[in-house]
A and B are shown apart, each in its own frame.
Chain A
Amino acid sequence: MTAVLSLEHVSKGFPGVKALDDVSLTVEAGEIHALLGENGAGKSTLMKILCGIYQPDEGTIRLNGEARHFSSYRDACAAGVGIVFQEFSLVPWLSVVDNIFLGREPRNRLGLIQRARMMAEAYELFDRLDIDIDPEIQVHRLSVADQQFVEIAKALSLNARVLVLDEPTAPLTPTEVERLFKIMRRLREGGVAMVFISHHLEEIFQVCDRITVLRDGTYVDSCAVTETDHDALVEMMIGRKVDNIFPPREPRNTNAPILLEAEIGMKHATHTDSLTLAKGEILGFAGLVGSGRSELAMALIGAYPTRVAKIRLDGREVRFRSPADALDAGIGLLPEDRKRQGLILPFSCGDNITLNHLKQFYRPAPFLSRSREADTVDAAMDQVRVKAPSAETPVQSLSGGNQQKVVIARWLDRGCRILIFDEPTRGIDVGAKSEIYALMKRLASQGIAIIMISSELPEITGLCDRVLVFSHGRIVAELADGEIEADTIMRHAVTEPRRDDVSQPVTEDAR
């Protein structure tokens, strides 16, 4: 039996980096093939080559044994290759069906769009995937998970026989990941060959059949899932063992002085939430995606409209009209969506990192000392191990995980007293994750208070001193010490079960 897809001896260089060096990958029909590797290992690049977005310097792409050349993404689509990109690619203000058929709408003889046919095909697709989404709804009103499913439907709409999923689970919660896996298994039964990229190794063992590992752009090994285990995979990926991903737990200092007390009521809500934050503690915000965690965090720094916002810092009443006010008071936020809310894409890595503390580099004010800036940037990039040819590299050309590290680096050594990290490890590989956890612990031990919003339960249970659980836009539970367990958190997070709860904007929830 010939493989549906085989990539043979593929190499690709970018200015200053050899992204891929003689990499091969074979996927059979009805197989889910995991592609693993550290941040910047070349996974996304390999997939973009498969989809005609980049051209390989060397190597061959074979579909069903036949050598193919794709000069564009359209070519690849037409040949039955679909991809769900690492970064969302839907147009938020268009409806679901318009997104699915964007650029290749079925037309009648007059050249007008055949909407009825599009709708019918969309329903058929959703049936096949067993998902229930209204095709007429605008994409930005969907939950992240549903958007992800629309991406899959879009990738499949041309009868793709090969489907690439580049970190599809990164923004999803465990239940949503389960839904995704159900869909993937269905597709596998239908004979679709899939390449699945993820930094969550446990997921690999749940759905995948075979594994290929890349390291620094080179091929390391392939094997069946059954022949390996978690630790062996980690070693294959990063070339060394990682024993404990979380730093050792220390007893919580219950006497630490309270740094922040807040009482927040959202603009369109009738209730208020209150919380306290002590010096040197890591406070977790747990809950489903869309449960109001990010909104509350944004409201804390004055970036989200509120009805009530009573904030006391060190016992003194403060008022933040904008994130700049909060920053002046020593509160910083690392937002959830690095592309939209975090990075200045045309900037270099270095300029992204120093953006909000340029005043540290005054030579005589108001002039900047480039060399002092460069020193700080180098140190920060080393601390989180950004893999980039130089600090002057445009942040746009980094791999997804390395972009995330740049956003984190911005908040190191900032002199902030409170840091709010919204999904800080999204898209970051196992090795780098454990370093970021260690870094957060170190910051906390220096007396910095950290709020961590995370949809990854192990992260919450492994790192937090205290946890607030959110559901439907409000805080429903506070857990500390021994109570912080995955089951308990999930039980609180799904109180008031309701269908489609996550797709409702939080602000409409306060009835």
Chain B
Amino acid sequence: MSDSTQPAAVAAPRRQRRSRATRMLHSPMFFPLLGFIAVFIIMSLVNDRFLDVSNIENVARQGSVIGIIAVGMSFAIFTGGIDLSVGPVMALSGTLMAGLMAAGWPAPVAIAAGLCVGSLFGAFNGFCVAFGRMPPIIVTLATMGAAHGLALLYTGGYPISGLPSWFAWFGRGSLAGIQVPILIMLLVYAAGYVVLHHTPFGRYVYAVGGNEEATRLTGIRVPRTKMLVYSISGLTAAIAGLVITARLMSGQPSIGEGFELDAIAAVVLGGAAISGGRGVVLGTLVGAMLLAMLNNGLNLMGVSSYLQDVIKGGIILLAVYIGRGRDA
């Protein structure tokens, strides 16, 4: 259609962009970053050791396990779902890698097997949610217990040790001066970002969270999308399992308890709507690092761990309160 027949208002340039300031203010990253900077400044004021380069690196490394899990959790939450099984799935994948290596399997095969099992476990969650049409919170609550049980069954309840010493590289090594867990975390975030923002699948993730019925009617395969989302969540949990097992140099069946809550907190602190459809994965990174910074700073200050939990809870509530207007 020619432009000449159009009323003036319609002919306005479509690609006109909002001013940089309003774009920043409306970005879902705005409040998470603001919170991050605020906590950063407070922590560096009350603690002179906080700003040491080695301590900053510590913060990032300590946050990496939750950070990696939170990527998969972001996918689930963006679709309007949730994955409570991530902690035990992490433990299950980690112990499996450890067990296979201790049994003499070649390490790459053992690692691949662990990652596969994590993804398959996620796929099972996805299958129940997508095709069984069960609520994700119930499905993953059930499989959370099941995964923990499987990990205990597999190990007989004892930690598995005797791993090849070079395996520690994944948890303690460094590459180009950066610790490997941090590198792995950044890689996972980069992949998550590309998938969410530069592929059709990523768009479907947000669409399902924004309006599932409309997404289905418009011809998107919603069940397939959900299957993939929970598989990704299982995979990132398994990657976290790799890191933590290598860090501890043993397969611990009961590790990861409560990790799902920290991961959810990271996603929410990152500005996502718990009802789905809104959020960005880089916000989740900010949220995860914010949590890690709080842990680290409060430790340095010698705050008791009980009190730490209270403070963290308060900060999460505050963050959700500040961001709530955009959750309408």
Contact = CB atoms under 8 A, between A and B. Distances in A.
Interface of A: 15-16, 40, 216, 238-239, 298, 303, 322-324, 326-328, 332-333, 335, 340-347, 351, 355-356, 358-359, 366-368, 374, 377-378, 381-383, 385-387, 389-392, 410
Contact of B214 (A15, A16, A344): A344
B213 A341 contact: yes
Nearest to B2: A382
5 contacts: A333-B217, A335-B214, A342-B214, A344-B206, A356-B219
Given A323-B216, A340-B214, A343-B211, A366 B1 contact: no
A305 to B, nearest CB: 13
A315 to B, nearest CB: 23
Given A341-B214, A344-B207, A374-B15, 12 more contacts: A322-B216, A322-B221, A335-B217, A340-B213, A342-B218, A344-B210, A346-B210, A347-B207, A356-B218, A358-B203, A390-B16, A410-B218
A322 B14 CA distance: 34
B14 A390 contact: yes
Given A303-B217, A332-B219, A387 B10 contact: yes
Among A346, A347, A356, A382: residue with most chain B CB under 10 A: A346
Contacts of A366: 199-201
Contacts of B211: 340, 343-345
Nearest to A327: B219
A355 B215 CA distance: 8
Nearest to B199: A366
Given A15-B18, A322-B216, A355-B203, A347 B210 contact: yes
B279 to A, nearest CB: 10
B12 interface: yes
A240 to B, nearest CB: 9
Contacts of A333: 217
Contacts of B200: 358-359, 366, 368
Contacts of B214: 335, 340-344
A387 B216 CA distance: 27
Contacts of B314: none
A323 B12 contact: no
4 closest Cβ pairs, A-B complex:
A327-B219, A358-B200, A344-B210, A346-B277
Nearest to A435: B1
B278 A346 contact: yes
B143 to A, nearest CB: 26
A495 to B, nearest CB: 30
Interface of B: 1, 3, 6-7, 9-10, 12-18, 22, 194, 198-201, 203, 206-207, 209-211, 213-221, 273, 277-278
Contacts of B13: 390
A389 B12 CA distance: 7
B31 to A, nearest CB: 17
A324 B221 contact: yes
Contacts of A359: 200
B300 to A, nearest CB: 40
B49 to A, nearest CB: 43
Given A216-B9, A368-B199, A389-B12, A323 B217 contact: yes
B218 A391 contact: no
Among A298, A324, A389: residue with most chain B CB under 10 A: A324
Given A345-B210, A381-B14, A385-B6, A323 B219 contact: yes
Contacts of A328: 219
Contact of A391 (B14, B209, B210): B14
Contacts of A381: 14
Contacts of B7: 216, 238-239
A345 B1 CA distance: 27
A343 B215 CA distance: 8
A355 B12 contact: no
B221 A390 contact: no
Contact of B16 (A343, A345, A386, A389): A389
Nearest to A351: B203
Given A358-B200, A367-B199, A346 B16 contact: no
A46 B190 CA distance: 46
A382 B6 contact: yes
B265 to A, nearest CB: 22
Contacts of A344: 206-207, 210-211, 214-215, 277
B181 to A, nearest CB: 28
Contacts of B213: 340-341
Nearest to B8: A216
Contacts of A341: 213-214, 217
Contacts of B218: 323, 327, 332, 342, 355-356, 410
A387 B277 CA distance: 24
Contacts of B10: 382, 385-387
A303 B22 contact: no
Contacts of A335: 214, 217
B220 A356 contact: yes
A65 B190 CA distance: 62
B131 to A, nearest CB: 12
Contact of B220 (A303, A324, A340, A391): A324
Nearest to B6: A385
A385 B3 CA distance: 10
Contacts of A374: 14-15
Contact of B206 (A322, A327, A346, A383): A346
B37 to A, nearest CB: 25
Among B1, B213, B214, B273: residue with most chain A CB under 10 A: B214
B277 A392 contact: no
